């Protein structure tokens, strides 16, 4: 039986993040990729120059078209920049009842803001409670909780607890923005903390890492993996994609990871 994963996110015209990164990741990991566009960005390796949101009725129509025909096993939510978009997506997901990976995309790798300030509260109230796992990086976890950026695992745990209390079943706080020789991610489910570490890679090709990791977790969940195994396998996939991407020469800014490192 074919595993089907759905991404609900924005388009990255440069191909390194967003819908494009999700579809590449789903495909590389052996799942069928379906997509719902929430926004179109004019974007490349150097930054975001324009954003246009898709209308709410069209977002809903895309979701209904997919769920009425495809047996979606897991859903990834990425860029949802407005409160009205978030509310509409949450309403349809409550109806369709699927496993949700919520990647709270708030700031692009380039530093460009992708989520309106007033939408943060809506995301916490309406999408976080639907999530099997929320996957913020350190700055996103701080924005979600209203706390300073975590400087150690104790502060990461405190922020994870705040997000869990908002209704998420698990929280994966990513340590890619931290310091030290290793990039360490912590998975919290309210009962235990699991640590996933990999050596930090010195590369300029790291655009779309957050999208890629969350999409990989979604793909593995769609294939029936437990959350722990999905995170473990996805961390390994991203690490290898970063390693293989070091030699890529694409654009003049922050280049993409190598999603198809296992194939090329």
Compute the distance between CA of residue 162 and CA of residue 171 in angstroms, rounded to an integer.
10
The pLDDT assigned to 108 comes to 58
Domain of residue 101 covers 4-245
Tens of pLDDT, residues 184-211? 999 999 899 999 999 999 999 999 999 9
pLDDT for res 226? 97
Helix (H) or strand (E) holding 238: helix 227-245
- In angstroms, rounded to a whole number, what is the distance separating the alpha carbons of residues 29 and 48? 28
Q: What is the pLDDT of residues 151-175, one digit of tens each?
A: 988 999 999 999 999 999 999 999 8
CA–CA separation, 70 and 55 (whole Å): 23
> Is 234 a member of any domain?
yes
Q: Flag whether 261 is in a domain.
A: no
183 within some domain:
yes
- Number of domain units in the chain: 1
**Bridge partner residues of 183 (DSSP):** 198
pLDDT score recorded for residue 186: 94
* Residue whose tokens read 């975590």: 150
Tokens of 115: 């989520």
Q: Does residue 262 sit within a domain?
A: no
Let me know if residue 258 belongs to a domain.
Answer: no
Could you give the CA distance from residue 245 to residue 1 in angstroms, rounded to a whole number? 32
Ranges assigned E (strand) in the chain:
4-12, 32-44, 47-53, 74-77, 99-102, 133-134, 171-173, 182-188, 193-199
CATH code of the domain in which 151 resides: 3.40.1190.20
Q: What parts of the chain have a pLDDT lower than 50?
A: none
For residue 93, tell me if it sits in a domain. Answer: yes
């Amino acid at each position: 039986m074919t595993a089907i994963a759905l991404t609900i996110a924005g388009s990255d015209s440069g191909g390194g993040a967003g819908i494009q990164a999700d579809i590449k990741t789903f495909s590389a990991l052996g799942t069928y990729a379906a997509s719902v566009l929430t926004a179109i960005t004019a974007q490349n390796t150097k930054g975001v120059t324009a954003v246009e949101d898709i209308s709410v009725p069209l977002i809903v129509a895309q979701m209904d078209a997919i769920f009425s025909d495809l047996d979606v096993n897991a859903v990834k939510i990425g860029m949802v920049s407005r409160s009205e978009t978030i509310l509409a997506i949450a309403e349809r997901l409550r109806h369709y009842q699927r496993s949700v990976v919520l990647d709270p995309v708030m700031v692009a790798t380039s530093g460009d803001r992708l989520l309106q300030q007033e939408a943060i509260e809506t995301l916490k109230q309406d999408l976080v409670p639907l999530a099997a796992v929320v996957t913020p990086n350190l700055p996103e976890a701080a924005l979600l909780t209203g706390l300073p950026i975590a400087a150690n695992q104790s502060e990461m745990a405190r922020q994870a607890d705040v997000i869990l209390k908002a209704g998420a079943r698990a929280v994966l706080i990513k340590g890619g923005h931290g310091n030290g020789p290793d990039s360490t991610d912590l998975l919290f489910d309210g009962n235990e903390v699991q640590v996933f570490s990999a050596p930090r890679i010195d590369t300029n090709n790291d655009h779309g890492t957050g999208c890629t990791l969350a999409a990989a977790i979604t793909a593995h969940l769609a294939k029936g993996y437990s959350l722990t195994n999905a995170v473990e396998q996805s961390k390994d996939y991203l690490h290898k994609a970063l390693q293989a991407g070091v030699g890529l020469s694409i654009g003049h800014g922050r280049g993409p990871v190598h999603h198809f490192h296992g194939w090329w």
